[in-house]
């Protein structure tokens, strides 16, 4: 490697080893795929329709889609999907097919929703209403009911968070369904943004219930978050009927233009499929369990030194009051107003957590005013 490459590589490696505040797993190694870097792989168009361009990994892409469909209790005959460029594209796709199903619907989503959704709604020009969140980041059902009641003449699109970015809060599908029944809403669509939790929930006991057996219309998951990938990617799954509504044939590449982008990444499906095969369901469960245990440990250790840390259920996200700038920079901690979080993804070690705890202890002694009185109440 020439100097600049070495320099960039070292900088990135250092940053990758140090961060604690983002939901990006790092227990992967894809060096074995190096030979693929000499080929222009392109999964252009629909994963189920071959194109005249055949340098693709669509067969593997379909295996990945079927795997996610099955772990989310869907029937591959009724569910269609593709590997996206990330959770944002999957959410855009869900909202897009929802709009085609119900062009005059209103989209309901909570104020804790990922920042990209506002942009997606703007691109799609969809009327929408932001619903208040509860203290833990979950949607406020009373506020949702009040808003829905005013618009009973319009179809409703529910954009649900299965794990919010900041606190990993889950909007409860059964409560949403109860509201739909109570208000007799006939035309509705349910999209689940499971960017992080979609690759965890199926592998843990008592995970959130949001899959296709519960009647959702679409689910978006990020591939580079809990699974881990050197290139951002994701998977989106939708009921086939929704995909069929937007399918147009294009003669240039002789495939169906059912995806958001044209040329598509064919490398990431290889990574995802390899990871799933190597770990197996058992390995994926162990990984999730290890992360939950590390999160429990992190919460406990913070509480021991007087920090009012908390988690939603068995979340991997430990929320605590925003520490000083030096700690935020050192551990790359994402913050939102008065709170910060550590996300215990695979690849983060107990030693790193212990180092953070030591630094926090110092921080409390030196910046006591930043912690107490604490605006955050433990619930
Ligand atoms: C990260 C995240 C997204 C966006 O996913 P990308 O893969 O970064 O595009 C969407 N929603 C939630 C809840 C997220 O945490």
Interatomic CA distance for residues 262 and 93, integer angstroms: 14
Residue 376's pLDDT is 43
| 124 C-alpha to ligand 1 centroid (Å) | 18
At 195 the three-state DSSP class reads coil
Structure tokens that stand for 326 in this block: 């030096």
| 221 C-alpha to ligand 1 centroid (Å) | 8
- What's the per-residue H, E or C state across 13-81? HHHHHHCCCCCCCCCCCCHHHHHHHHCCCCCCCCCCCCCCCCCCCHHHHHHHHHHHHHHCCCCCCCEEE
| 32 C-alpha to ligand 1 centroid (Å) | 28
Check residue 140 and give left, alpha or beta (phi > 0: left; psi -120 to 50: alpha).
beta
Residue 377's pLDDT is 39
Task: Name the residue with tokens 């990574």.
Answer: 271
Q: Architecture of domain 31-277 in CATH? A: 3-Layer(aba) Sandwich (3.40)
Class of 3-27+283-364 in CATH:
alpha beta
Asked if the bond preceding 201 is cis, omega within 30° of 0, the reply is: no
Mutate to test the pocket of ligand 1, among 85, 88, 120, 192 (most ligand atoms within 8 A of CB): 88
Any atom of ligand 1 within 6 Å of the Cβ of 87: yes
pTM flag (> 0.85): yes
| 163 C-alpha to ligand 1 centroid (Å) | 10
Mutate to test the pocket of ligand 1, among 21, 86, 109, 226 (most ligand atoms within 8 A of CB): 86
Any atom of ligand 1 within 6 Å of the Cβ of 168: no
Residue 365's pLDDT is 84
Interatomic CA distance for residues 97 and 240, integer angstroms: 10
Residue 12's pLDDT is 96
Mutate to test the pocket of ligand 1, among 23, 25, 86, 87 (most ligand atoms within 8 A of CB): 87
345 Cβ partners below 8 Å, 6+ apart? Answer: 23, 24, 25, 26, 225, 226, 228, 291, 316
Task: Name the residue with tokens 């709604």.
Answer: 121
Cα 326 → chain centroid: 28
CB 162 within 8 A of CB 201: yes
Any atom of ligand 1 within 6 Å of the Cβ of 242: no
Structure tokens that stand for 186 in this block: 């006939």
Any atom of ligand 1 within 6 Å of the Cβ of 116: yes
Domain parsing of the chain, residue ranges: 3-27+283-364, 31-277
Sign of CA pseudo-dihedral 357, 361, 363, 364: positive
**Residue-wise DSSP of 82-96:** EEESSHHHHHHHHHH
Bridge partners (DSSP) of residue 218 are 191, 238
| 114 C-alpha to ligand 1 centroid (Å) | 6
Q: In 10 A of CB 171, how many CB atoms?
A: 30
Residues of the chain with pLDDT under 70: 1, 249, 367-379
Q: In 10 A of CB 93, how many CB atoms?
A: 27
- The torsion defined by the Cα of 94, 96, 102 and 105, in degrees rounded to 10, comes to 90
Interatomic CA distance for residues 132 and 112, integer angstroms: 8
Any atom of ligand 1 within 6 Å of the Cβ of 234: yes
The per-residue b/e assignment along 204-214, b for 16 or more CB within 10 angstroms, e otherwise, is beebbebbbee
Any atom of ligand 1 within 6 Å of the Cβ of 229: no
Residue 363's pLDDT is 86
Interatomic CA distance for residues 22 and 104, integer angstroms: 36
| 59 C-alpha to ligand 1 centroid (Å) | 26
The residue whose C-alpha atom lies closest to atom 5 belonging to ligand 1 is: 87
Interatomic CA distance for residues 317 and 161, integer angstroms: 15
């Amino acid at each position: 490697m020439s100097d600049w490459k070495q320099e960039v590589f070292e900088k990135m490696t250092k940053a990758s080893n140090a961060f604690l505040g983002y939901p990006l797993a790092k227990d992967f190694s894809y060096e074995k795929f190096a030979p693929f870097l000499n080929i222009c792989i392109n999964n252009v168009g629909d994963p189920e329709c071959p194109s005249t361009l055949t340098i693709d990994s669509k067969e593997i892409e379909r295996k990945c889609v079927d795997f996610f469909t099955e772990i989310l209790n869907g029937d591959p005959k009724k569910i269609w999907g593709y590997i996206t460029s990330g959770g944002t594209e999957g959410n855009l796709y869900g909202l897009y097919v929802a709009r085609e199903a119900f062009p005059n619907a209103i989209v309901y989503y909570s104020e804790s929703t990922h920042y990209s959704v506002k942009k997606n709604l703007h691109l799609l020009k969809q009327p929408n209403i932001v619903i208040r969140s509860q203290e833990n980041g979950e949607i406020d059902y009373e506020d949702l009911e009040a808003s829905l009641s005013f618009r009973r003449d319009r179809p409703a699109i529910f954009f649900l968070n299965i794990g919010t970015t900041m606190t990993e809060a889950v909007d409860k599908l059964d409560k949403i369904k109860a509201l739909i029944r109570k208000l007799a809403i006939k035309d509705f669509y349910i999209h689940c943004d499971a960017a992080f939790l979609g690759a965890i929930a199926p592998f843990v006991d008592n995970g959130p219930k949001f899959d296709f057996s519960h009647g959702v219309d679409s689910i978006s998951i990020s591939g580079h978050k809990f699974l881990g990938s050197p290139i951002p990617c994701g998977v989106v799954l939708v009921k086939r009927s929704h995909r069929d509504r937007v399918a147009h044939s294009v003669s240039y590449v002789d495939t169906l233009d059912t995806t958001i982008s044209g040329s598509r990444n064919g490398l990431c499906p290889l990574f995802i499929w390899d990871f799933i095969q190597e770990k197996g369901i058992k390995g994926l469960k162990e990984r999730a369990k290890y992360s939950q245990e590390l999160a429990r440990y992190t919460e406990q250790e913070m509480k021991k030194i007087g920090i009012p840390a908390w988690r939603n259920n068995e979340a991997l996200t430990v929320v605590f009051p925003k520490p000083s700038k030096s700690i935020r920079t050192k551990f790359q901690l994402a913050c939102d107003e008065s709170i910060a979080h550590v996300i215990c993804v695979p690849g983060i070690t107990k030693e790193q957590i212990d180092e953070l705890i030591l630094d926090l202890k110092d921080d409390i002694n030196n910046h006591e005013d930043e912690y107490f009185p604490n605006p955050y109440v433990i619930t």
